Amino acid sequence: MIRFILKELEKTPGPVFSKKELVDISRTGFEDLLKRRILVYLRPSEKETENLRLPRCQHGCNLTVVRIDGELEAVCLDHPEKDPIPIDKDDLSRYSFSVDRFLFKVRTANGIEGEFQRIEGGYFHLGHKFYNDMRVGFAFVPAVQDEWLVRLSGLKNLSTEDEILVVLSPSTLIDEITLKNALLNKRIIQVSLAESMNPKTFVMPLRKHLSGVLQSVSAETSSIIEMTGDQREDYERHKYRCADRLHIPGEITAEGKNVISLNGNQITIEVANLILLLRFVVGLKRDKDGWVDRYSLHEERIISDPDRFQHYSRLRRELAPNLLLKDGKDFIQNDLRKRYRISTHPDFVTYDKEKLLEHANYRVVKIAERLP
């Protein structure tokens, strides 16, 4: 349904559809778009002349709706000699597609932040996201037209803070290699909504679309890290060195090893390393700086000796192969004030507190009790 409408939108600005036309494609899709208020019913005035998209006269002309003896008929005003066609209410073109509401839902589904702005000519700036410390803007154009390079370059200049611009079109995808490369050189990516977007959720595979241009300008990591504006500000304020994702599910293998997930990879660690890691999680979740000094770790009996550094090296060694930068010293960071922390954003660290509170090791349970 939504793909059909997007293709029609690119052909005709502000297309109006009949209920029969849309229900024939998908009744479920029609009802869903009505419920989401993306399809809007138009109630014509009594004096208003209505035209039909379908059917057409045999010459291809649009038909006009008239009422004769209380019945609705469609006639061709350019060819009055042709017989009128009987129609019913469901044939009337009375449903419009709200581009504003649709784009706002696309924006929400894909976590796009910032100002939603209409631009003259049917264009929209949807907002922005942050990837790999770069601001990526999102714009919508109603149709693929001539002079794309000039038009899209001008659109990018409207928001000078956007280092990369993703241009969403309803249906058409630019295939011409020379033009695609010219746009990429200007850090402009064109995406077809009809081809790329999940028609039910409106989610797009943005990392896939951005991978080429992001990796060419951010060579320090092959991973594409998505952040919100608030998270990016936290990185600037607290100087985290990593963007790794850590999850502690509180599960134990048959061999007695503790399961954790690091950047989507499931690994196992010794209980002593879990205890130390979990204490750093408490520090990060209670204060975004996350620092814990080694004397506090000793007083809490997390480590046996504050002047020995094997505790940290063992933990770093177990984690390093699955870190984005493969450097345990960046992830388990220390400073000149004899403090340690997990050096990634608190939002990227999760856990199952209920399972941790049922852990077989009482020291794990004690630390888990302090987790938010």
Q: What per-residue confidence (pLDDT) applies to 120?
A: 82
Q: Are residues 39 and 105 in the same domain?
A: no
What is the phi/psi pair of residue 64, to 5°? -110, 140
What are the Cα distances from residue 275, in Å, to 252, 338, 365?
13, 19, 9
Average per-residue pLDDT for the chain: 85
Which secondary structure element, helix H or strand E, spans residue 17, and what is its range?
A: strand 16-18
Q: Are residues 246 and 362 in the same domain?
A: yes
Q: What per-residue confidence (pLDDT) applies to 282?
A: 96
3-state secondary structure of 340: strand
Beta-carbon contacts of residue 367 (< 8 Å; ≥ 6 apart): 275, 278, 279, 282, 302
Domain count, the chain: 3
Is there a domain that residue 88 lies in? yes
Q: Are 364 and 302 in contact (CB under 8 A)?
A: no
Is there a domain that residue 251 lies in? yes
End-of-domain residue from the set 65, 82, 97: 97
Q: What per-residue confidence (pLDDT) applies to 52?
A: 65
Q: Could you list the residue range(s) of the whole structural domain that residue 344 is in?
A: 239-368
**Is residue 287 over pLDDT 80?**
yes
pLDDT in tens, 145-179: 655 555 666 666 667 788 899 999 999 887 777 77
Is there a domain that residue 233 lies in? no
Distance CA 81, CA 276 (A): 88
What DSSP line would sit under 22-75, residue for residue?
HHHH-HHHHHHHHHTTSEEE----TT---EEEEEE-TTSPEEEEEEETTEEEEE
Q: Are residues 298 and 257 in the same domain?
A: yes
Q: Are residues 245 and 220 in the same domain?
A: no
Q: Are residues 6 and 123 in the same domain?
A: no
Is there a domain that residue 209 lies in? yes
The count of other CB atoms within 10 Å of the CB of residue 101 is: 15
Q: Which of 21-30, 182-191, 258-267, 343-352 bottoms out in mean pLDDT, i.e. has the lowest?
A: 182-191
Q: What per-residue confidence (pLDDT) applies to 166?
A: 93
pLDDT in tens, 93-137: 678 999 999 999 999 999 999 999 898 888 899 999 998 778 999
Is there a domain that residue 234 lies in? no
Residue 322 per-residue DSSP state: G
Distance CA 1, CA 215 (A): 35
Beta-carbon contacts of residue 154 (< 8 Å; ≥ 6 apart): none
Q: Are residues 144 and 36 in the same domain?
A: no
Which one of 29-38, 49-58, 304-313 scores highest in mean pLDDT? 29-38
Beta-carbon contacts of residue 129 (< 8 Å; ≥ 6 apart): 110, 111, 112, 113, 135, 136, 138, 206, 226, 227, 228
Is there a domain that residue 232 lies in? no
Is there a domain that residue 189 lies in? yes
Q: What is the mean pLDDT of residues 39-56?
A: 69
Higher pLDDT, 248 or 219: 248
Is there a domain that residue 231 lies in? no
Beta-carbon contacts of residue 166 (< 8 Å; ≥ 6 apart): 136, 137, 138, 139, 189, 190, 191, 206, 209, 210
Q: Are residues 275 and 315 in the same domain?
A: yes
State the distance between the two ends of the chain, measured CA to CA, in whole angstroms: 44
**Is residue 266 over pLDDT 60?**
yes
End-of-domain residue from the set 55, 70, 97: 97
Q: What per-residue confidence (pLDDT) applies to 81?
A: 66
Q: Are residues 199 and 307 in the same domain?
A: no
**Is residue 372 over pLDDT 70?**
yes
Q: What per-residue confidence (pLDDT) applies to 341?
A: 97
Q: What per-residue confidence (pLDDT) applies to 283?
A: 96
What DSSP line would sit under 237-305, residue for residue?
HH-------EEE---B-TTSPEEEEETTEEEEE-HHHHHHHHHHHHHHHH-TT--EEHHHHHHTTSSS-
Q: Are residues 258 and 358 in the same domain?
A: yes
End-of-domain residue from the set 64, 80, 97: 97
Show the tokens assigned to 146: 């001539």
Q: What per-residue confidence (pLDDT) applies to 12?
A: 82
Q: Are residues 107 and 204 in the same domain?
A: yes
Q: Are residues 111 and 216 in the same domain?
A: yes
Distance CA 251, CA 149 (A): 54
Q: Are 214 and 134 in contact (CB under 8 A)?
A: yes
Q: What per-residue confidence (pLDDT) applies to 131?
A: 87
Q: Are residues 130 and 251 in the same domain?
A: no
Percentage of the chain exceeding pLDDT 90: 54
Q: What per-residue confidence (pLDDT) applies to 347?
A: 96
Question: Predicted confidence band at 199 (pLDDT cuts at 50, 70, 90)?
Answer: very high
Percentage of the chain exceeding pLDDT 70: 83
